[in-house]
Chain A
Amino acid sequence: MLGFRIRRKITSLLSYILACVAVFLTLFPILWIFSISIKTQRDAFAIPPIIIFKPIWSNYTKIWQTAGFAQAFRNSAIVTMLGVLLALVVGIPAAYALNRLPFKGKKALTIWLLLSYMLPEFLFIIPIYILYQKIGLYDTQIGLAIVYQVFVLPFTIWLLRGFFADVPIELEDAARIDGCTRFQTLRRIYLPLTAPGIAATAILTSIWIWNELTIALALTFETSRTVTVAVAGFRGYASIDWGSMTAASIVSILPMFVFAALAQRYIVEGLTLGAVK
């Protein structure tokens, strides 16, 4: 019995060691990049690498002043907000209807929502690019926010539909008997009850939009360039400018880590709900 207990202890210790290795491998690249972003060029290129150094923040002040990075950051913020707003405004009634209202073609719509996920970006990008060039939406924030609905809207509808389905139908019936219209039940019953779910959906879609590169690369040029496209610009000829490149990377990652921290409870909670059900 004692031997069994000791074996348990050892495997438990081993588990912790392995988990710490995984944590180290996960964090090291990000921390290393951060350390380079606060090094001088000379320190950054030193071999063997310098562990103890005097941090400088000039890379961060520099990127805000160079080549439209601030503009790109602002663009990303605006496109993200527009995209999320559009998805919620359009997605909330759609999710409600999919749950509670009868209409023909419901199944076809459901299947389409899933299909549009599977399809590759450039299938959508090229026709939209041609269309946008013609109607003047190319390189605009709103144009980009609209295209993002290809993935964001199905995602939002699916997620919200799940949350709405958890609202007891008796509540809705009671409200209807009391004379509420459909729209009023949606507004007064569904929205307050599923507010955390809606917030989580908004955060998750924000992260997706903020991080998206492929579509932004093809559909923006200069005025509406997003932060991912701007960061991509550091990759080619300027790749030796590690200071700017790493500082820009860290600046673009940070808001997402904050968002992830906010939504973390819902990511895991949502997943558990989904898996348990």
Chain B
Amino acid sequence: MAPAVSILLLEIKMNNHIHSLEEGTGKHSNISGYLYVGPALAILGLTSIFPVIYSFVMSFFNWNWGLRVNFVGFQNYIRYFSDPIFWKVLGQTFYFTVGAVTIEFILGFGMALLVNRLNFGIGVFRTILLLPLMVSGIIVSLIWKVLLDPTLGIVNYLMSLVGLPRLVWFGSQSTAMPSIIMVDTWWQTAFVFIVLSAGLRSLPSEPFEAAEVDGANAFQKFRFLTLPMLRQVILTVLIFRTIDCLKVFAIIFGTTGGGPAQSTESIQTLAYRTAFKFLFLSRAMTLMVIFSMLILIISLLYIKFGERETF
């Protein structure tokens, strides 16, 4: 998603401005400060702070739209942790995330390095390669459902032309998830590409010139100059892609709906069905509380890793 592109900017700006933020705090509180942030606080209170607290509280109850609200303690949590479906779905969510992030990162980084070397036409390439990010996940799903249709799709036709076997793509348990990873790759590689492109362009040229004089080869320059200097940008890209992939919903909803036989169910599609198909509201909220904790832990691990000196 396009706005996601600029999250990088936010993140980097945060690192720079966090100190200027601190100056303001603690000294003396100012009424006009609250006047300016008041409306924002009210909206955030309603849209995000209330739901987080509500979900957390309700995860200790059993409530499914009826009049009865029973306190059940940790029962909802225990239920999930002892449910093989939960672990299967969690495993699939990680399978998707690791697969998609790895492929997108390698491809996107490769494209960024490639386009960075071009002498002319960089702007045009960048503009075109950015386009998939502007397309809604649900439309991406529909596009690929048409392209990958087992009988009428163009991809199977092209594959049969070069003698490759026809695949059922979203239709079988073994190929469905790889197909969704492929769809996500088409959709989101541009995020990695555009952010790392900007990172590459911001690098100073002197170290590279010096390395050239010292006779360093391309790989050495990449390994000992580009990678270390891009470290923060790379980590930022990885954090945002990882979080986005863990939260995957639209492209699964749009392609397989979680099937066949739940083989592509992700945590968020499971939450959707639990809440809106089976109407187990408190159970779905429990699932989201568990999942949010997990996302936070993973983000913290990344940040912790980012504080280390080297890769």
Interface residues of A (CB under 8 A from B): 11-12, 15-16, 18-19, 22-23, 25-27, 29-30, 32-33, 36, 45, 47-49, 86, 89-91, 93-94, 96-99, 101-107, 109-110, 112-131, 146-147, 149-150, 153-155, 157-159, 161-162, 165, 182, 204-205, 207-208, 210-214, 217-218, 228, 231-232, 234-235, 239, 242, 245-246, 249, 252-253, 256-257, 259-261, 263-264, 267-268, 270-277
Chain A, residue nearest B122 (CB): A19
For the A-B complex with A103-B24, A114-B11 known, give 13 more contacts whose Cβ atoms are closer than 8 Å. Answer: A23-B128, A32-B147, A47-B151, A98-B21, A107-B22, A114-B14, A123-B55, A124-B48, A128-B51, A149-B43, A182-B32, A212-B136, A252-B136
Main DSSP-derived SS at the B contact region: helix
Q: Name the contact of B152 in the complex, choosing from A47, A155, A213 (C-beta under 8 A).
A: A47
Complex-state Cα separation, A96 to B2, whole angstroms: 24
CB-based contact B3/A242 at 8 Å = no
CB-based contact A239/B47 at 8 Å = no
CB-based contact A110/B34 at 8 Å = no
CB-based contact B128/A252 at 8 Å = no
Provide 27 A-B residue pairs closer than 8 Å at the C-beta atoms, listed in order of the A residue.
A19-B115, A19-B118, A49-B157, A89-B39, A90-B43, A98-B21, A99-B20, A102-B28, A103-B30, A119-B52, A120-B247, A120-B271, A120-B295, A122-B272, A122-B284, A123-B292, A146-B46, A213-B253, A218-B275, A228-B136, A228-B139, A234-B142, A246-B142, A253-B136, A260-B134, A274-B198, A275-B12
Question: Contacts A19-B115, A102-B29, A218-B276; is A267 near B10 (CB within 8 Å)?
Answer: no
CB-based contact A256/B134 at 8 Å = yes
A residues near B134, Cβ cutoff 8 Å: 207, 211, 253, 256-257, 259-260
Complex-state Cα separation, A217 to B275, whole angstroms: 13
A residues near B16, Cβ cutoff 8 Å: 277
Q: Name the contact of B39 in the complex, choosing from A93, A116, A274 (C-beta under 8 A).
A: A93
Question: Contacts A102-B30, A234-B142, A235-B141; is A256 near B135 (CB within 8 Å)?
Answer: yes
B residues near A26, Cβ cutoff 8 Å: 128-129, 131-132, 186, 190
CB-based contact A16/B37 at 8 Å = no
Question: Contacts A159-B10, A245-B142; is A271 near B5 (CB within 8 Å)?
Answer: yes
CB-based contact B139/A253 at 8 Å = yes
Q: How far is the CB of B121 from chain A (nearest CB, A)?
A: 8
Chain B, residue nearest A110 (CB): B21
Question: Contacts A104-B29, A127-B285, A149-B43; is A161 near B292 (CB within 8 Å)?
Answer: no
